[in-house]
């Protein structure tokens, strides 16, 4: 047996053995780095942040390939997850958004679904997935220090010293803090911004429940049950989340993750329990109340204060605040785990090089700080504008396109880079080409300008300088003029396991797919953004969703170039060169294209 307790000198000490700390420890251990993995608690334990997105899974798959860890692939494959990790996770086939008005039954026409991929995403039951990663880290050599409280931190030119409540001294060459909001390093060096620079305000209540049925199965006009994805019930300045772990045939878990996130400026914290407050909100929204009428919490409720926090800097001499230790905005859009894996990926190469050369100069780690701060600011704008847009469904429908254009295009670019890397082994393909991105160097080169202009429009609405109808029209007009390509390639779809090599998908088919995606992402006339053969035919023909009961209209108008876009480089004429009014929707002219002959499974 290997004696672990007597070891006190390490290359890297990691504070926090949750998802971020254990994933980093696994990769470092596989690279031969000696790691101390320290936590005041122990596994298994409750955690939220359970819903993956394709970008998260793509980066995890990339880490698995680059660092020779096929065990990580099990986390992102639904079947592999159940077979190799745990049989307690749910699946995710879409982001589901249902809009609610105070005191009214919801209108099924005001529900939206954004598909995740042709490959299922997952609802991770974190107590099991985190324990899997922790145990994997130990397998690859990390020394676990569970139930170990760090009481002191010293960092100087010689290295790092940690003092524990048991009187132990642990020494390391580098320190990573993955502890979250109560970051020991942030407290020790006074790194928190007080007050935070973040615009958004929200607080949350959450628990796990049983006996929460699927939402309104009888009246859902969209192609997939809301139960098969992450469901968001949205209302003015707030939202409920419903994340089922019991929607996967391979799962034995009856639980549903449930939460309520609200703006404390609109809804100050009352003098009542979290359970009582949640129930009071249910009374305001009849359709949500119906879903929860028989629900029962299986664990104590958690109620927080304001969630938002940020740091003046996230790296320093021989230390890094990782992801949620550096800052946090809101769980909307399921970006927490994506942020985590992105920062792990960004940190690994400079850290491994510093350990190799014994050169821990701050300069090598500055890009990690820049990326963390950039991601935090993007999430802040993304969520803050969502809360603003919930004043009006049409504006929310428009803002979701801003989110979709950033996310989908970045995922396609990343998939292409991963496919090229797998084919050639050239790591340069794993670096995106976008300069000065707003959240990711794989995003479309023009997205940052489009995003900033869209943020300005929504904030102008909040300030009373524009009406909701004018803001909605402006966002859709800018989306229609935004000259983005849809960079879908078959080899990249195969590498991402979104389709099989033998599936038929010709370049002609891909052309239809690209044109269809472009229309769907820039029109208010579809609530169904779950890509299937049927929806691609409809998108290519510019036909509204059938349940909207709208006819395609040949009387469309030319778009005017939005202010600020006239000097930007165009990449050729837009395949979707017509606009639609959200308040009085009409479709662009129907096309005579016969549609794609897609036989691949592209749900």
pLDDT tens column, 201-230 = 999 999 999 999 999 998 899 989 999 999
Provide the pLDDT confidence category of residue 598 given band limits of 50, 70 and 90.
Answer: very low
Is residue 5's pLDDT more than 90?
no
Summary mean pLDDT of the chain = 90
Q: What is the pLDDT of residue 163?
A: 96
**Top-confidence residue, 95 or 566:** 95
Q: What is the pLDDT of residue 563?
A: 38
Is residue 599's pLDDT more than 80?
no
CA distance linking residue 455 with residue 386, whole number of Å: 10
Q: What is the pLDDT of residue 6?
A: 66
Is residue 551's pLDDT more than 80?
no
Q: What is the pLDDT of residue 549?
A: 87
Q: Domain 9-89+125-195+309-373 classified CATH 3.50.50.60?
A: yes
Q: Where in the chain is the domain with CATH 3.30.9.100?
A: 92-123+201-303
Q: Per the confidence metrics, is the pTM higher than 0.85?
A: yes
**Top-confidence residue, 469 or 549:** 469
Mean pLDDT along residues 410-437: 96
Is residue 464's pLDDT more than 90?
yes
Report whether 565 contacts 559 (CB < 8 A). no
Least confident residue range of 45-54, 127-136, 532-541: 532-541
Least confident residue range of 205-209, 242-246, 437-441, 501-505: 501-505
CA distance linking residue 313 with residue 310, whole number of Å: 9
Q: How far is CA 477 from CA 19, 177, 408, 471, 576, in A?
A: 41, 44, 19, 10, 11
Is residue 572's pLDDT more than 70?
no
Q: By C-alpha distance, which of 214, 289, 278 is closest to 246? A: 214
Q: By C-alpha distance, which of 380, 295, 386 is closest to 339? A: 380
pLDDT tens column, 288-322 = 999 999 999 999 999 999 999 999 999 999 999 99
Is residue 603's pLDDT more than 70?
no
The token pair at 108 is 């099924």
**Residue 549: CB atoms within 10 Å:** 8
Secondary structure of residue 329 in the 3-state scheme: coil
Percent of the chain at pLDDT above 70?
A: 90
CATH tag for 92-123+201-303 (out of 3.40.50.970, 3.30.9.100, 1.10.390.10, 3.65.10.10): 3.30.9.100
Q: What is the pLDDT of residue 573?
A: 29
Report whether 498 contacts 603 (CB < 8 A). no
**Top-confidence residue, 599 or 117:** 117
pLDDT tens column, 360-419 = 999 999 999 999 999 999 999 999 999 999 999 999 999 999 999 999 999 999 999 999
Q: Where in the chain is the domain with CATH 3.50.50.60?
A: 9-89+125-195+309-373
């Amino acid at each position: 047996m290997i004696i672990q307790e007597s070891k006190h000198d390490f290359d890297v000490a990691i504070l926090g053995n949750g998802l971020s700390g254990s994933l980093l420890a696994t990769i470092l251990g596989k690279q031969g780095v000696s790691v101390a993995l320290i936590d005041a608690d122990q596994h298994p334990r409750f955690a939220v942040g359970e819903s993956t997105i394709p970008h998260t899974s793509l980066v995890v798959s990339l880490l698995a390939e680059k660092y020779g860890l096929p065990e990580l692939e099990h986390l992102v494959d639904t079947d592999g997850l159940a077979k190799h990790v745990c049989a307690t996770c749910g699946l995710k086939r879409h982001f589901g958004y249902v809009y609610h008005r105070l005191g009214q039954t919801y209108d099924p026409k005001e529900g939206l679904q954004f598909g995740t991929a042709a490959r299922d995403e997952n609802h991770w039951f974190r107590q099991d997935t985190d324990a899997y990663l922790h145990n994997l880290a130990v397998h690859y050599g990390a020394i676990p220090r569970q139930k170990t409280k760090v009481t002191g931190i010293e960092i100087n030119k010689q290295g790092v010293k940690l003092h524990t409540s048991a009187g132990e001294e642990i020494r390391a060459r580098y320190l990573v803090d993955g502890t979250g909001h109560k970051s020991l390093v942030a407290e020790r060096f006074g790194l928190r911004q007080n007050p935070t620079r973040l615009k958004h305000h929200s607080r949350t209540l959450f628990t796990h429940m049983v006996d929460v049925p699927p939402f309104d199965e009888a009246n859902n006009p969209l192609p997939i049950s809301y139960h098969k994805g992450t469901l968001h019930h949205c209302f003015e300045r707030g939202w409920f989340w419903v994340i089922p772990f019991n929607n996967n045939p391979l799962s034995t878990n009856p639980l549903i993750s449930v939460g309520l996130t609200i703006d404390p400026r609109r809804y100050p914290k009352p003098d009542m329990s979290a359970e009582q407050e949640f129930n009071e909100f249910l009374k305001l929204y009849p359709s949500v109340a119906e879903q929860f009428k028989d629900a029962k919490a299986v664990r104590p409720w958690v109620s927080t204060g304001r969630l938002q926090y940020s740091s003046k800097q996230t790296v320093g001499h021989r230390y890094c605040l990782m992801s949620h230790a550096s800052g946090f905005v809101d769980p909307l859009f399921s970006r927490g785990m994506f942020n985590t894996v992105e920062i792990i990926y960004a940190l690994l190469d400079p850290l491994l090089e510093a350990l190799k050369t014994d050169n821990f100069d701050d300069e090598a780690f500055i890009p990690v700080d820049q990326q963390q701060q950039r991601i935090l600011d993007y999430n802040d704008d993304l969520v803050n504008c969502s809360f603003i847009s919930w004043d009006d469904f049409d504006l929310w429908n428009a803002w979701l396109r801003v989110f979709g254009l950033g996310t989908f295009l970045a995922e396609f670019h990343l998939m292409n880079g991963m496919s090229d890397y797998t084919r050639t082994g050239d790591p340069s393909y794993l670096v995106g080409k976008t300069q000065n991105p707003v959240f990711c160097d794989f995003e479309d080169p023009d997205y940052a300008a489009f995003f900033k202009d869209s943020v300005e429009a929504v904030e102008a609405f909040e300030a009373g300088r524009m009406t909701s109808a004018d803001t909605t029209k402006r966002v859709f007009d800018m989306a229609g003029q935004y000259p983005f390509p849809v960079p879908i390639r078959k080899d990249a779809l195969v590498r991402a396991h979104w389709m099989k090599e033998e599936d038929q998908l010709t370049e002609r088919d891909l052309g239809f797919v690209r044109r269809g995606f472009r229309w769907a992402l820039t029109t208010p006339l579809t609530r169904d953004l779950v890509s299937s053969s049927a929806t691609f035919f409809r998108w290519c023909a510019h036909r509204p969703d059938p349940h909207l009961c709208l006819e395609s209209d040949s009387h469309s108008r030319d778009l005017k170039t939005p202010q600020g876009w006239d000097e930007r480089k165009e990449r050729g004429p837009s395949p979707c060169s017509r606009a639609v009014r959200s308040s009085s929707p009409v479709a662009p002219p129907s096309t005579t294209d016969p549609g794609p002959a897609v036989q691949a499974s592209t749900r």
